[in-house]
Structure 1
Amino acid sequence: MMLGTHFIELPVLMPPMLPEMVGVSNTQYFALYYQGSKATWSSGRAMATFSYYAVYAPLVEHIALAIHLEPYNLGSDDEIPEHAILCDTVCHKMYVGAYKEIDYFLLQQHPKELPTLSEQEFKEAVKAVEDMTLEQMQKLGMFEMFGNTNPQARQATIELVQWLDQQITEELIQQYIQLANRGNWTAIMALDTLKLRISEGKKQQQQLENN
């Protein structure tokens, strides 16, 4: 994969402990920037926030890097990022470039196929969704997909998802199916998650009927 022609290599190697400190793994390239009042990393397939004071500020404000990053806008509380730092975990190099270009570059490092979902599983996911009416889909039961949160937070999450479920339309589902058939990773995973919810919802319904 070729690096963007406008990416500028920084004259400092990537600190070897940096990926672990921000929480990145299993990817060659990731980007660092500041967005939504949070220090953020992205690999093109995943993204998360990390400590501003423990990692981000010590990195970008260090004398070894500060002067080289000064011309660029990595984002602030008042501005969205125009640029980002691109880290190469294999060559241990860092680059800076336009945020949009780096974001596009990161997407290219992931394979089109999804190794965690077989063709049979994909077909089952599509069929499960196609066999549901829109009304049935909007009345799906919830299952343990949100981790172990406290009851109050979990209830808020359930209400959030139920509200979002009401925004599902038949056109939206068809759009997801079309994108999944073209190999869109996000659409495939969304359909697979929905298949799991449908399956669990049916189990819960059967348990209620048996009782």
Structure 2
Amino acid sequence: MTTVAILDYGMGNLRSVAKAIEHVAPGHEVFVTSDPARVAAAERVVFPGQGAMPDCMRELDARGLRPAVMQAAASKPFLGICIGQQMLFDHSAEGDVPGLGILRGEVVRFPDAAMQGADGLRLKVPHMGWNEVWQRQPHPMWDGIPDGERFYFVHSYFVAPADDDIVAAQTDYGLRFTSAVARANIFAAQFHPEKSAAAGLRLLANFIRWQP
């Protein structure tokens, strides 16, 4: 039995994440927690997030969870989702706030103007809805997921890694942006697997089986 901790720092859509992982991990222990000791004891950690980056960083520190996140990201299978991906990087333009610095790079905003789709129509910010995810490197987390599969996004900011080698997938929305990253035991995605139907459930099931 695998133990999977979903970090609760007051800023995530935790119920839907927990339900989706429970669905793909019958017989495993899946729990939502804000207790650093339970995070440290878990075999796998999921780091979700919704809202604004400055609020997320403030709440993470207010709950004393930063050391637990740093330790988990250094030592065990670790899945970042949405803001949970962005927080891993050095700095965000959203509120001009430092991130955790686990991965090198910046979090930047889609331009407000001059974004056009392939049909020539103006694209709105935030980027909201289903879009194709193009895999940049093979990875166990992509097992059984076709290249170009559609996942669900809701965001105005995206990560711009300093190291191209960690880019696991890209997506087109007026420009080509990084939609997933991977390094060692860390996999993190801008999209929401818990809202992405069968493809998202497959990604979460792969996370339960993944052995970095």
Q: Same fold (TM over 0.5)?
A: no
Q: TM-score range by the shorter chain?
A: under 0.3
> Between Structure 1 and Structure 2, whose CA radius of gyration is higher?
1
How high is the TM-score relative to the length of structure 2? Answer: 0.24
Structure with the higher strand share, 1 or 2: 2
Tell me which protein shows more helix as a share of its residues: 1
Q: TM-score, normalised by structure 1?
A: 0.24
